[in-house]
Structure 1
Amino acid sequence: MTKIYKLTVFEPSGEKLLDESFTAENDEQAKDLGQNLLNEKNYQDRTHRCISPAGQLLLFHR
């Protein structure tokens, strides 16, 4: 069963650069998909977080 995960990228000012939901089968797949999205959009070095449907922090960079 797929679950909905949330990826958010921020500017230092707090402005959201990306606020995107995506589906994955599990947390490991969500980490990979989230990292791929960050790389595609060149946001890997920006402040970001990826959160599971249960509220667990899967990816975080400050």
Structure 2
Amino acid sequence: MKTYTLTIFEKNGEKLLDHSFEALSDEEAKSRGSQLLQEHGSEEKTHRCTSPEGKLLLFHT
């Protein structure tokens, strides 16, 4: 398993969430990241989900 990071920001740059989670693949991490965004009601907030290699899986400004 690899550790991925989901970060959610306000428009002013304030970090609202910095959450690490484990997934077996980038696709699983993308799905889990989307699920976490929904749980926090943050789909429309600025966010990013990155892989341990620095690959950007989800991004919204």
Fold shared, TM-score > 0.5 on shorter chain = yes
SS at match of 1:43: coil
Cα shift at 1:36: 0.1
Cα shift at 1:33: 0.1
The number of residue pairs the alignment matches comes to: 61
Paired letter, 1:59: L
Between the aligned partners of 1:45 and 1:16, the Cα distance in structure 2 is 15
Could you say which residue in structure 2 is the equivalent of 1:28?
A: 27
Normalised by the size of structure 1, how large is the TM-score?
Answer: 0.97
**Which residues of structure 1 form unaligned runs of 5+?**
none
The percentage of aligned residue pairs carrying the same residue is 57
Between the aligned partners of 2:56 and 2:18, the Cα distance in structure 1 is 15
Could you say which residue in structure 1 is the equivalent of 2:44?
A: 45
Between the aligned partners of 1:42 and 1:32, the Cα distance in structure 2 is 15
Moved segments of 4+, more than 3 Å: none
Cα RMSD over matched residues?
Answer: 0.3
Between the aligned partners of 1:33 and 1:48, the Cα distance in structure 2 is 14
**Which residues of structure 2 form unaligned runs of 5+?**
none
Between the aligned partners of 1:8 and 1:41, the Cα distance in structure 2 is 12
Between the aligned partners of 1:44 and 1:54, the Cα distance in structure 2 is 24
Paired letter, 2:6: L
